[in-house]
Amino acid sequence: MARTLYDKLWDSHLVHVEADGTALLYIDRHLVHEVTSPQAFEGLKRAGRKPWRMSSVVATADHNTPTTGWERGIEGIEDPTSRIQVETLDANMREHPAKAYFPFLDARQGIVHVIGPENGATLPGMTVVCGDSHTSTHGAFACLAHGIGTSEVEHVLATQCLVTRKMKNMRVRVDGELGRGVTAKDVVLAIIGRIGTAGGSGHAVEFAGSVLRSLSMEGRMTICNMAIEAGARAGMVAVDETTIQYLKGRAFAPSGPEWDRAVAGWKVLVSDADAEFDREVKLDGRSIAPQVTWGTSPEMVVTVEESVPDPDREKDPIKREGMERALAYMGLKPRTPIEEIKLDKVFIGSCTNSRIEDLRLAASVVRGKKVAPGVRLALVVPGSGLVKAQAEKEGLDRVFRDSGFEWREPGCSMCLAMNADRLEPGERCAATSNRNFEGRQGAGGRTHLVSPAMAAAAAIAGHFVDVRGWR
């Protein structure tokens, strides 16, 4: 029978199935970070259990770590509770050495979803889990990758398996081609705008079509990263030459004769031509314009050419109330043109858009220009130490600094504001991250999700502008 990519990944990891469909799925790669793992290691210890296979674990500290003051070492983490979390991970990694651990201050430290792929620790055909919902990112490599809770982290540590059920198959096809200045981020925001934040619930989503095929691995990761914002635990893209070329020579990728064997196995990681999906959604790449969210959920999104919507025109009373609440929180009036919205801060970073390609794109927009006087802080936070080093080699740090951006150390930073980087109440931010929830970037902070090009242009203009016509 014809199978989807998801069917193939599922079948090849099935250890056991109960009569009601509950399955034990074998886990190849377990990514670990400091916020969702301490209770799991503690639980193991209390039950007198040992981790099953630490060679599956790649760990890093990213959520709490500061993006300045690294010269002060661990003392640079001023919040004592954050420091305890980072030190707890250090201690757990000493007790149970992992395949790789990139601790705070390490040259290869970074956001967990950036370091996995860049080190070749994420390979096609793997099952990948992490106590973090954006684990869907790794699906760009034709992996079955999804976020899990802390009890599941403990369960995977103890058994190398996840107790789960098969999801339904969904395919999102984006065909045609993208216009100049339109990026992967705009594609995924347009998809979420179409299907809603619960549109993919209960489904594993394969992203396909000529637009996906034309994207780099960085772009594909941006799209899979936000599958969870469309409600789907897992997003994925089939293997092609782009996937294989990206992985060649990465630190943990196979090499020599093993490389050839691996590649032969990866090539079947595509949906069969006649495979059936439970649901299919199609978008035309040519019709996608740069996107800007206006509310407190990623589905509250319009194009940069549009205006803030008017709740009075919404018939569904629950939706209308939600819109009114969002506009009140965001401090926006209905029908305000998006290009008239002024920004206080700009954040370029996060596991959605902090890879080298994102930084190159943003730098190309700001080169030779200055951040607008009204913008209090414009921040670039590379996704990892390796991204930072590469960007510095290319002189991108200089481009950003000369324009008035701050160039920081890697980490999650102002994506979720667990460290010192945050919005103050009422501040408005153009962010390349993935969540515009109330308080996400700091209590009372107002987040507009955009692409790196749009964020960079907004920093220079002081308000949103359409990058397509911008020079």
Partner 1 sequence: MEKFTVLNALVAPLDRANVDTDAIIPKQFLKSIKRTGYGPNLFDAWRFLDPGVPGADPASRRPNPDFVLNQARYRGAQILLARKNFGCGSSREHAPWALQEYGFRCVVAPSFGDIFYDNCFKNGLLPVVLAEPEVDGLFYDCALPGFRLIVDLAAQTVSTNDGAKSFRFAVDATRRYSLLNGLDEIGLTLRHADKIRAFEARRREQLPWLFR
The contact set with ligand SF4 (CB under 6 A) reads 62-63, 111-113, 132, 134, 350-351, 412, 415-416, 433-434
Output the smallest distance, CB 435 to ligand SF4, in A: 7
* Partner in contact with 415, chosen from ligand SF4, partner 1, none, beta carbon below 5 to 8 Å by kind: ligand SF4
Residue closer to partner 1 by CB (options 70, 437) is: 437
Residue closer to ligand SF4 by CB (options 134, 138) is: 134
Encoding tokens for residue 309? 């919507």
Output the smallest distance, CB 130 to ligand SF4, in A: 9
3-state secondary structure string across 190-208: HHHHHHCCCCCCCEEEEEE
Output the smallest distance, CB 394 to ligand SF4, in A: 22
* Partner in contact with 289, chosen from ligand SF4, partner 1, none, beta carbon below 5 to 8 Å by kind: none
* Partner in contact with 428, chosen from partner 1, ligand SF4, none, beta carbon below 5 to 8 Å by kind: none
Residue closer to partner 1 by CB (options 150, 390) is: 150
* Partner in contact with 350, chosen from ligand SF4, partner 1, none, beta carbon below 5 to 8 Å by kind: ligand SF4
* Partner in contact with 318, chosen from ligand SF4, partner 1, none, beta carbon below 5 to 8 Å by kind: partner 1
* Partner in contact with 440, chosen from ligand SF4, partner 1, none, beta carbon below 5 to 8 Å by kind: partner 1
Residue closer to partner 1 by CB (options 151, 214) is: 151
Rounded-to-integer distance, Cα 269 and Cα 158, Å: 29
* Partner in contact with 28, chosen from ligand SF4, partner 1, none, beta carbon below 5 to 8 Å by kind: partner 1
Residue closer to ligand SF4 by CB (options 243, 433) is: 433
Output the smallest distance, CB 61 to partner 1, in A: 13
Rounded-to-integer distance, Cα 418 and Cα 442, Å: 9
Output the smallest distance, CB 383 to ligand SF4, in A: 8
Residue closer to ligand SF4 by CB (options 13, 138) is: 138
Output the smallest distance, CB 236 to partner 1, in A: 15
Output the smallest distance, CB 154 to partner 1, in A: 7
* Partner in contact with 351, chosen from ligand SF4, partner 1, none, beta carbon below 5 to 8 Å by kind: ligand SF4
3-state secondary structure string across 252-284: CCCCCHHHHHHHHHHCCCCCCCCCCCCEEEEEE
Neighbour order of strands in the sheet with 29-32: 100-102, 57-60, 29-32, 127-130, 144-147
Which residues, at least 6 apart from 100, have a Cβ–Cβ distance to it below 8 Å? 58, 59, 119, 121, 252
Phi/psi-derived region of residue 417, left when phi > 0, alpha when psi is between -120 and 50, beta in every other case: left
Output the smallest distance, CB 250 to partner 1, in A: 12
Rounded-to-integer distance, Cα 288 and Cα 38, Å: 42
* Partner in contact with 131, chosen from partner 1, ligand SF4, none, beta carbon below 5 to 8 Å by kind: partner 1
Residue closer to ligand SF4 by CB (options 347, 407) is: 347
Which residues, at least 6 apart from 431, have a Cβ–Cβ distance to it below 8 Å? 346, 347, 350, 414, 415, 441, 447, 448, 449, 450, 455
- Nearest CA to 381 out of 67, 135, 112 is that of 67
Residue closer to ligand SF4 by CB (options 156, 412) is: 412
Which residues, at least 6 apart from 321, have a Cβ–Cβ distance to it below 8 Å? none
Residue closer to partner 1 by CB (options 163, 465) is: 163
Which residues, at least 6 apart from 68, have a Cβ–Cβ distance to it below 8 Å? 76, 408, 409, 420
- Residue where the block lists tokens 């196979």: 254
Output the smallest distance, CB 14 to ligand SF4, in A: 28
